[in-house]
Structure 1
Amino acid sequence: MKGHPLVWHTLAPDWLRRYSDEDVEKIVRARVAREVTSFAGLIDTWDAINEVVIMPVFANEPPPDEGVPNAITRLCRRIGRIPTIRLAFEEARRANPTTTLVLNDFNLSTAYECLIEGVLEAGVQVDAIGLQSHMHQGYWGEERTQEVLERFARYGLPLHWTETTLLSGDLMPPEIVDLNDYQVAEWPSTPAGEERQADDIVRHYRTLLAHPSVEAITYWGITDRGSWLGAPAGLVRADGTPKPAYEALRGLVKGEWWLAPTRLRTDSEGKVPVRGWAGDYTVSAGDSSAQWTLQQDAPSPVVILP
């Protein structure tokens, strides 16, 4: 389970605008502490703060008759972006020292790199870098994906691909800059688009899992019903029937990558090596069995059957 997000200026509540900056900071801190504490043990990974690259430039302004700026944007203008990030991370860390906290953004340009470098130099403890990939204008391809991976892997932190979408219908025109600006009455899934989506999702997931820095992938929406921007990006159609992409991804995860019950033969010394993904394993021979866990960056366990 993962929480998204603890702080985000774009959807700051309207009622927050009537408070002073000092009170806004207190309220935001209290909100972060409340969520992280209340859900500890169930949700222990959070996007601590979302899309800071465009804050406070992107103001998400209120209707003109209100005349009061977005409260979190206003707070960020007063104290700065890095202190706003510090607020989210340190409050969450105080509430649950064992939580995994992600700095998340859709802007994967050098502006995000500069922000990450500033945050790390300021001593903010970031557990993972979040990378969004809403590919409404078509699959990026392996070359661009690898380029993004290498640029952000150099910080030595795990990479979380936090918001991935691949379309099964018409692609958004390439000249659109802000994906929110593309509004159509209907955006259906099509047979040709569904086949393309299935191929794209296999290529994308293979590329990500092959990179040692990738720790997590979140697909953004399982169904077309109520999808972001109405895009046909789900793994199942609006009526709940699975698309080819659903079957293709399931085939990878539960088929090719899942270590199903497997019979192995020991060597002359009674040993058998096992190679697999991080996770929990059980081995049995006759009436004897044992369990072990493979963990990233941990010594390989040696299991002896009684």
Structure 2
Amino acid sequence: MGTIGTRTARLRVLPRAAATRAATALSALTAVAVAMVGLAAPAHAADPVLRDLATAKGKYYGTALPAGRLTGTHGSVAAAQFGSVTAENEMKWGSVEPTRGSFSWTGADQIMSFAAANGQKVRGHTLVWHSQLPNWLANGTFGNDELRTIMTDHVTTQTARYKGRIDQWDVVNEALNEDGTLRASKFYTQLGESYIADAFRAARAADPAAKLYINDYNTDATGAKSNGLYSLVQRLQAQGVPIDGVGFQTHLIIGQVPATFQANLQRFADLGLDVAITELDIRMTLPATTERLAQQKADFKAVTNACLAVARCKGITVWGFSDAVSWVPDVFPGQGAATPYNENYQPKPAYYGIAEALGWTDDGSGGGGGGGGTTGCAVTYANQSQWNTGFTASVTIKNTGSSPVNGWNLGWTWPSGQSVTSAWNATITQSGAQATAVNLSYNAAIAAGGTVNFGFNGAWSGTNTAPSAFTLNGTACTLG
């Protein structure tokens, strides 16, 4: 996970609906809840609000959210931009029932309180999954009847706790192999396919109002796995199992949105089921370049359009909205930049692709983030002097676009293990080889055609090779 850099908060103008929500929430919250949402989201004044655009289309746009990031910049952006939240880990079995029969609700309750304070729906994730099980269950030995009771008791207890407050539950998660057969999980191995039906029936009995989903990955295109899921859903329906929807995780790679994605969503909807995109991210090989970010924008837009085209697609959840906390780099070395916001919580072109699909049009006032052709940048990097293990460098950023930049952060990766020791005209933070420079209060604006300069002292050993790529607010720059 990335490190969040320090930045200067900037106020933003909210549409009427969002402003009304904020005023209502602030008047009702305790001091703790106010702290959750009180920071202004770091976005341009003209930036769209995804939750409002999606609502106008009859959908929701949501994000996964960890309980540890409900405050500060992360919390404020999540509150302002998204109409639904999914707990990243706080509702999984290992988190809520670490000891048999003893439940820990702290993290899950924090997510629920945050959502209530901000007028957001909640997707419950997840009740029965082969992974992240507590040790007592994963490594325990139980008879078939006992295991079935353990499972249904867990489902009942958790679902009943949040009765009437969870909009959708992922009842069973990742039940399939890649060839479409059922995964040999602890539950399937002992109980067979019937464990799925039992889990859904227990959830329905505990909360009749919640929509109950089966959720899986690599089922976005028509193929062996999605065909297996389709057949499973049909079997459940034939048994009268109370299944309401199918979740498609949609962890993608840029340029690889399946051509059959919309048709695949539609065939499940034609079974009389709701569908949802539940864990969307679209990763790329690093570093991010102008071309890769443009492709990512087109891909986020295409996925959003696919949901809009299917009447029973209820909405989309991105699996984390900022590259600062994305799971992707830890799991896929050399890949990342998979979310709509960069590591410093600036919207990327992907964010504007989502907004455009939802009906927003860039008004040319600088909110396009590279999405409307109004922004561009060139960076000149120069080593001013070098000695033993230290050096001094200067950086000039030129706004080559047609609109002003209002607030900037410049990111780069050190190729030779360098580090920044002090800086002027910018605040510079570093996580590993990744460095980020953020404007100060007096140099936040860069006029169209204008420049800004900052410098720093650094440390080096071996070689002091200059960075080969820079990104300004998530958009790749040319080298000056």
Into which bin does the TM-score normalised by the smaller protein fall? 0.5 to 0.7
Specify which of 292, 301, 304 is matched with residue 205 of structure 1: 304
Structure 1 unaligned segments of length 5 or more: list them: 60-72, 171-186, 257-306
**1:222-261, aligned counterparts within 5 Å?**
222-230=321-329, 231-253=336-358, 255=360
Deviation of residue 13 (structure 1)? 2.2
**1:225-304, aligned counterparts within 5 Å?**
225-230=324-329, 231-253=336-358, 255=360
Q: What residue is the counterpart of 1:127 in the other structure?
A: 244
Which deviations, in whole Å up to 9, do the C-alpha atoms of 1:161-218 show, x marking residues without a partner? Answer: 2222223x32xxxxxxxxxxxxxxxx44333322221122122212220222312222
Deviation of residue 145 (structure 1)? 1.6
1:219 aligned onto 2:335: no
- Specify whether residues 56 and 117 from structure 1 end up closer, same or farther in structure 2 by C-alpha distance, changes over 3 A only: closer
- Specify whether residues 253 and 80 from structure 1 end up closer, same or farther in structure 2 by C-alpha distance, changes over 3 A only: same
Specify which of 154, 175, 180 is matched with residue 270 of structure 2: 154
- Specify whether residues 25 and 190 from structure 1 end up closer, same or farther in structure 2 by C-alpha distance, changes over 3 A only: farther
Which deviations, in whole Å up to 9, do the C-alpha atoms of 1:120-178 show, x marking residues without a partner? Answer: 1121011112222211263325x3223312332331211112222223x32xxxxxxxx
**How far apart, in 2, do the equivalents of 1:144 and 1:232 lie?**
25
- The alignment covers a number of residue pairs equal to 224
Which deviations, in whole Å up to 9, do the C-alpha atoms of 1:88-114 show, x marking residues without a partner? Answer: 111111111111101112243311112
**How far apart, in 1, do the equivalents of 2:296 and 2:348 lie?**
9
> What amino acid is aligned across from residue 247 of structure 2 in structure 1?
G
Specify which of 136, 140, 152 is matched with residue 18 of structure 1: 140
Quick check: 83-92 or 243-252, which moved more?
A: 243-252
> What amino acid is aligned across from residue 159 of structure 1 in structure 2?
V
CA RMSD of aligned residues (A): 2.4
Deviation of residue 243 (structure 1)? 1.0
> What amino acid is aligned across from residue 212 of structure 2 in structure 1?
L
Deviation of residue 47 (structure 1)? 0.6
Deviation of residue 26 (structure 1)? 2.4
**How far apart, in 2, do the equivalents of 1:255 and 1:221 lie?**
22
Q: What residue is the counterpart of 2:207 in the other structure?
A: 96
Which deviations, in whole Å up to 9, do the C-alpha atoms of 1:247-268 show, x marking residues without a partner? Answer: 3323544736xxxxxxxxxxxx
Q: Secondary structure at the match of 1:88?
A: helix
Specify which of 120, 123, 132 is matched with residue 2 of structure 1: 123
Deviation of residue 86 (structure 1)? 1.4
Deviation of residue 56 (structure 1)? 8.3
Structure 2 unaligned segments of length 5 or more: list them: 1-121, 220-225, 330-335, 362-480
Contact in 1 for aligned 2:269/2:275 (Cα 8 Å): yes
Which deviations, in whole Å up to 9, do the C-alpha atoms of 1:16-37 show, x marking residues without a partner? Answer: 1224143333222222122212
> What amino acid is aligned across from residue 80 of structure 1 in structure 2?
G
- Specify whether residues 57 and 120 from structure 1 end up closer, same or farther in structure 2 by C-alpha distance, changes over 3 A only: closer
- Specify whether residues 150 and 247 from structure 1 end up closer, same or farther in structure 2 by C-alpha distance, changes over 3 A only: closer
Percent identity over the alignment?
30
**How far apart, in 2, do the equivalents of 1:8 and 1:49 lie?**
6
Deviation of residue 222 (structure 1)? 0.6
1:28 aligned onto 2:145: no
Alignment TM-score, normalising by the size of structure 1:
0.66
Deviation of residue 240 (structure 1)? 2.0
Q: Which has a greater percent of strand? A: 2
Contact in 2 for aligned 1:7/1:49 (Cα 8 Å): yes
Contact in 1 for aligned 2:328/2:338 (Cα 8 Å): no
Quick check: 230-239 or 15-24, which moved more?
A: 15-24
1:193 aligned onto 2:292: yes
**How far apart, in 2, do the equivalents of 1:92 and 1:12 lie?**
18
Q: What residue is the counterpart of 2:231 in the other structure?
A: 114
**How far apart, in 2, do the equivalents of 1:211 and 1:56 lie?**
27
Alignment TM-score, normalising by the size of structure 2:
0.43
Contact in 1 for aligned 2:129/2:174 (Cα 8 Å): yes
- The structure with the larger Rg is 2
